[in-house]
Amino acid sequence: MSSAESLPTTADVAPESFAGQLRLASAAEWDASVHHRFIDELFAGTVSDEVLARYLVQDYQFFDAFVAMLGACVATTDSKPARLRFAAQLGMLAADEDGYFQQTFAELGVPSSQITSPELAEPTKDFVAQMWEVAQSRDYADLLVVLVIAEWLYLDWGERDLPLPAEPKHRDWIDLHRGDDFRAWTQFLIDELNRAAPPLESDDGARLSERWKRIVGIERAFFDAAYSR
């Protein structure tokens, strides 16, 4: 792969690094998520309440497994500064992100059964299964592959150069996925993955590469699911 090839993204990643190569190899699927109808409508403030609620109900189930993954990183990482960074992010999620969900569920009138135990859409089932699998594997590189995709792909759409919508239910979800703090967090995850990853050509590298492709596909399907019922 030519190192002159640049990554059309918000993070600072060498194209020949582990994360850079996987990101480039999945560019088509990745960009389909970044430019998904849901994101266009979110920025425009035109996404229907029905679609937004369907997405957020599923994403709250994603969020629970995501918190479990960060906990597994706290327990697993070999780096003391990284352990504290994961712990700090857990605090932010418990306050700001859970707060967004609770406030928006209330505003949209989402019933509590949908918040605690909704029927899971297929992409949610796949995603949650992958997340619990890596959380239980206690394999730091496996955990980081899932985390890097989840955050980097969201940073890429969050930083799209579009006017912001006025309503908090739209705007706050964008604000949670853009800006200096979220960019620095995502950069930290990418740097940790590049530090912890095995060579891409090794058996472990191949396993991680397979997981990467699978998760990027699930991200796109997750957006699609908000429009199908």
Ligand X SMILES: Cc1ncc(CO)c(N)n1
Binding site residues, ligand X, CB under 6 A: 59, 62, 66, 150-151, 154, 219, 222
- Residue 151 or residue 192: which is nearer to ligand X going by CB? 151
Of 42, 25, 5, nearest to 215 (Cα)? 25
- By beta-carbon proximity to ligand X, the closer residue of 120 and 200 is 120
Q: Which is nearer to ligand X, 30 or 222 (CB)?
A: 222
Nearest distance, CB of residue 201 and ligand X, angstroms: 28
Nearest to 147 by CA among 227, 89, 228: 89
Distance separating alpha carbons of residues 145 and 214, to the nearest angstrom: 11
Q: How far is the CB of 32 from ligand X (least distance, A)?
A: 14
Q: How far is the CB of 153 from ligand X (least distance, A)?
A: 7
How far apart CA 49 and CA 209 sit, in angstroms, is 36
Q: Which is nearer to ligand X, 77 or 89 (CB)?
A: 89
Question: Computed over its alpha carbons, how large is the radius of gyration of the chain?
Answer: 17
- The residue written with tokens 């059309």 in the block is 8
With tokens 């991200």, the residue in question is 219
CB of 134 to ligand X, least distance (A): 14
Closer Cβ to ligand X, 151 or 156, answer by number: 151
Least distance to ligand X from the beta carbon of 125, Å?
Answer: 12
Residue whose CB is less far from ligand X, 16 or 181:
181
Spatial distance between the Cα atoms of 18 and 119, rounded to a whole number of angstroms: 36
DSSP string, 127-180: HHHHHHHHHHHT-HHHHHHHHHHHHHHHHHHHT-SSPPPSSHHHHHHHHTTSHH
The two three-digit tokens of residue 36, written as one number: 């998904």
